[in-house]
Amino acid sequence: MSGNEVAGLRAWARGDYGCEAAVELLVRGFGGRFAAAGWPWLRTDESSGSWWVNPDAITAEAGVLSSGEQAFLILVAALGGGPAVADLGGVLARLDREHLGLVLAGFAHAGGSHEHTVIGWTDAGVRFDRPGPLLDWPDLDFPAVA
């Protein structure tokens, strides 16, 4: 996975919290290998250098991978606009602790928790706070891209 691929995927997803979460999961999970060129769900336009994710290709092509990898990618596809997950509990149960933590942070991001405002009342009046994400992205070893 190159910095250009990651930057391109993040640029494509920017502004759609579900797609942003899907891209971060691809980049951070399993050492980032599912965000590398060559997977059928990653698309590029050679002339512009833009990248995007095809969630339908994830669900169609992930069947050759391990159970945990499939579960992870099923959730990536759902967050990226692909098919809904019918058995969410069953899919989550197939994840190891590391990837479950990533998925939970992805759900918090997709839900917009990083943008929430909390209203509080003080003696001086109304106060608006931005508490940050409900659950932050875990600090894992993954290719860092600015």
Summarised one tens digit per residue, pLDDT across range 38-53 is 999 999 887 777 899 9
Domain tally for the chain? 1
pLDDT at 80 over 80: yes
Contact 51, 140 (CB under 8 A): no
Q: What is the pTM of this model?
A: 0.85
Query: Does residue 7 belong to any structural domain of this protein?
Result: yes
* Residue 47, in any domain of the structure: yes
Please check whether residue 23 lies inside any domain of the structure.
Answer: yes
Domain residues for the domain of 120 are: 3-129
Q: Is pLDDT at 142 greater than 60 in this prediction?
A: no
Q: What is the CA radius of gyration of the chain?
A: 17
72 lies in a domain? Answer: yes
Residue 60 lies in a domain: yes
The answer to the question of residue 92 being in a domain is: yes
Q: Is residue 144 part of a domain?
A: no
Distance of CA 84 to the CA centre of its chain: 15
Report the C-alpha gap between 40 and 73 in whole angstroms. Answer: 12
